[in-house]
């Protein structure tokens, strides 16, 4: 039977662009196989007509599904460029005319201590060596890149004991220094996004006003700038009125670490309004690492729920049983990856088999099992994002609620929003009114109760939040939301050490 080669780039229509945040683990399998027979032929599923390269969604010719956009972070990259060209060739050797990579600068990993950085000599030579490596890697790798920002949580306990940062002002001043360093030494081989931070709206306003006129080519939205929709709308109007969203000058805005489906639909509404009223070439992007982190926890995307009371991806604990080794039972979930696989492709080890360490483990999975499931999860995540946008378009075309009394938004649902939460429909209409109003700040202010409700659950949770609090797993728990836990996930980091 002919297998599908789905083009998710074409089906993205005019939606805000979701970027899978490619894990180093996933990149490594594809890149190593491009240079050597890293995975033996007898380990590759027999239905993989393009071998492992078919898992490379950036490859429009051979990918089992095709998707031209992604984010890759310097935080877990090989910063030696010559080595990166080989070990990260999935990204480095892609068709640059037909793909777009946003590079994350690694500020998160520096603040967490994953990238070693001499905080005691922040304004001296040793720290500049790290800055130079990051700058050179970003220019070599990415079409757009984050500047090296210092998020405000780097000044909070316990991280401040290592960073020596003790205030919001310390984080902003450090970021301003990094900005100056990048501006001085850049070669203009990547376009830089001016990252806006701030843990509350007062901090966010101070940060914005001090960096807004720097000559970068787009915007990165962090902190409250990507959590509080009242602030997001207000900031966009600020940018519009100050001519900082102009065509050919600043054509892209990226929201850091966001997976919730309602958020993606809201960003589509904002992108459309910016395109229709300010800059027809403007693109809004957002990213998360959920498909990769989920796999590291043994979770597979099995279905999606698109209802007015629940709008999420559902993940279940994937079967791990040595009795299925060699099984020809088809993998029962839907994706161009899964339809080419059997249960035996995932449950590889049979009783008595030894793993890479020469020991018999409890799991039937080898590291390649995780890689296969990651590809499936990426596809399912993108598909669900696109379906949420399509359903929202249908609901909004049928039901256009009155938006004059934002403090009195009607409760409940009606026949037009069976698949879409009512607040999503209201936000789409609100975005239209804000961008077309002569007094947009008044419209935003009147909508404060609604926007507070719409933003609920997006405010940054404790880094101690556990995986099972955030994803729909086999017990059908709460909706997943990758932004609520640390971008650096210990289990994924441990998995990445196996390749």
Which pair of structure tokens corresponds to residue 182?
A: 């990048």
**Which residue, among 348, 334, 353, has the nearest Cα to 45 in the 3D structure?**
348
Q: What are 316-365's pLDDT values in tens digits?
A: 999 999 999 999 999 999 999 999 999 999 999 999 999 888 899 999 99
Q: In whole angstroms, what is the distance from residue 209 CA to residue 205 CA?
A: 6
Instruction: Tell me the Ramachandran region of residue 60: left when phi exceeds 0, alpha when psi lies from -120 to 50, beta otherwise.
Output: alpha
Residue 497 gets the label, from left (phi > 0), alpha (psi -120 to 50) or beta, of alpha
Query: pLDDT digits over 240-259, tens only?
Result: 999 999 999 999 999 998 88
The answer to whether the beta carbons of residues 21 and 294 sit under 8 Å apart is no
What residue has token string 């483990």? Answer: 361
- By CB atoms closer than 10 A (0-12, 13-18, 19+), residue 161 is exposed
State which H helix or E strand residue 104 sits in.
Answer: strand 100-104
Q: Can you read off the two tokens belonging to residue 130? A: 């790290």
Residue 386 to residues 177, 311, 322, 328, 359, Cα–Cα distance (Å): 39, 13, 36, 31, 43
Output the six-digit token pair for 128. Answer: 């500049």
pTM of the model: 0.91
Give the 3-state secondary structure of residue 308. Answer: coil
Nearest to 316 by CA among 331, 298, 330, 304: 298
Query: Phi, psi (5° rounding) for residue 52?
Result: -70, -25
Pairing of strands 299-307, 252-255: unpaired
> Residue 349 in contact with residue 366, Cβ under 8 Å?
yes
In a 13 Å sphere around the CA of 348, the CA atoms on its Cβ side amount to 21
Q: Please give the chain's pLDDT, 499 residues, in tens.
A: 567 679 999 999 999 999 999 999 999 999 999 999 999 999 999 999 999 999 999 999 999 999 999 999 998 899 999 999 999 999 999 999 999 999 999 888 888 777 888 888 888 778 999 999 999 999 999 999 999 999 999 999 988 888 888 999 999 999 999 999 999 999 999 999 999 999 999 999 999 999 999 999 999 999 999 999 999 999 999 999 999 999 999 999 999 988 889 999 999 999 999 999 999 999 999 999 999 999 999 999 998 888 888 888 888 999 999 999 999 999 999 999 999 999 999 999 999 999 888 899 999 999 999 999 999 999 999 999 999 999 999 998 887 665 555 545 555 555 556 788 889 999 999 999 999 999 999 999 999 999 999 998 654 433 323 323 333 333 333 334 333 334 446 777 777 777 7
Give the number of other CB atoms < 10 A from CB of residue 390: 16
Measured distance CA(398)–CA(374) in Å, rounded: 37
The tokens for 213 are 């006129």
Q: Is 26 helix (H, G, I), strand (E, B) or coil?
A: helix
Cα distances (Å, whole numbers) of residue 27 to 77, 158, 176, 290: 10, 32, 32, 15
Q: Which of these, 378, 326, 317, lies nearest to 351 by C-alpha position?
A: 326
Q: How far apart are CA 181 and CA 173, in angstroms?
A: 12
**Token pair recorded at residue 73:** 């972070």
Q: What is the pLDDT of residue 457?
A: 62
């Amino acid at each position: 039977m002919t297998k599908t080669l789905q083009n998710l780039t074409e089906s993205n229509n005019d939606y805000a662009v979701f970027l899978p945040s490619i894990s180093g683990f996933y990149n490594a399998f594809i890149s190593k196989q491009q240079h050597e027979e890293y995975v033996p032929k007898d380990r590759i599923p027999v239905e993989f007509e393009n071998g492992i390269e078919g898992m490379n969604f950036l490859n429009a010719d051979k990918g089992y599904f095709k998707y031209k956009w992604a984010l890759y972070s310097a935080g877990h990259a090989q910063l030696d460029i010559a080595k990166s060209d080989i070990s990260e060739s999935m990204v480095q050797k892609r068709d640059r005319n037909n793909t777009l990579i946003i590079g994350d600068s690694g500020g998160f990993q520096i603040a967490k201590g994953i990238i070693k950085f001499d905080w005691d000599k922040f304004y001296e030579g040793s720290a500049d060596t790290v800055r130079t490596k990051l700058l050179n890697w970003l220019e070599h790798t990415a079409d757009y890149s984050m500047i090296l920002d210092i998020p405000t949580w780097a000044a909070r306990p316990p991280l401040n004991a290592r960073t020596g940062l003790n205030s919001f002002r310390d984080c902003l001043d450090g970021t301003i220094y990094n900005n100056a360093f990048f501006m001085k030494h850049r070669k203009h081989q990547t376009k830089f996004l001016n990252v806006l931070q701030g843990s509350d709206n007062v901090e966010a306003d101070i940060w914005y006003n001090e960096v807004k006129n720097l000559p970068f080519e787009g915007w990165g939205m962090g902190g409250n700038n990507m959590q509080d929709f009242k602030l997001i709308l207000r900031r966009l109007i600020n940018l519009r009125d100050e001519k900082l969203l102009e065509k050919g000058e600043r054509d892209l805005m990226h929201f850091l670490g966001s997976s919730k489906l309602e958020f993606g639909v809201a960003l589509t509404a904002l992108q459309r309004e910016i395109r229709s009223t300010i800059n027809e070439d403007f693109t809004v992007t957002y990213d998360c690492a959920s498909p990769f982190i989920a796999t590291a926890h043994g979770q597979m995307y099995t279905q999606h729920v698109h209802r007015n009371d629940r709008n999420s991806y559902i993940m279940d604990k994937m079967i791990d049983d040595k009795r299925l080794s060699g099984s020809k039972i088809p993998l029962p979930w839907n994706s161009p990856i899964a339809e080419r696989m059997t249960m035996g492709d995932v449950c590889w080890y049979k009783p008595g088999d030894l793993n890479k360490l020469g020991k018999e483990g409890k799991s039937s999975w080898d590291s390649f099992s995780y890689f296969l499931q990651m590809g499936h999860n990426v596809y399912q995540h993108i598909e669900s994002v696109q379906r949420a946008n399509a359903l929202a378009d249908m609901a909004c075309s049928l039901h256009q609620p009155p938006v004059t009394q934002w403090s009195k938004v009607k409760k409940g649902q009606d026949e037009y929003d069976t698949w879409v939460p009512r607040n999503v429909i209201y936000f789409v209409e609100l975005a239209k009114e804000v961008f077309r109003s002569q007094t947009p700040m008044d419209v935003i202010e009147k909508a404060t109760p609604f926007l507070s409700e719409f933003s609920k659950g997006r405010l940054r949770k404790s880094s101690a939040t556990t995986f099972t609090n955030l994803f729909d797993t086999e017990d059908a728990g709460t909706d997943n939301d990758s932004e609520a836990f640390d971008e650096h996930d210990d289990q994924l980091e441990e998995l990445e050490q196996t390749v």
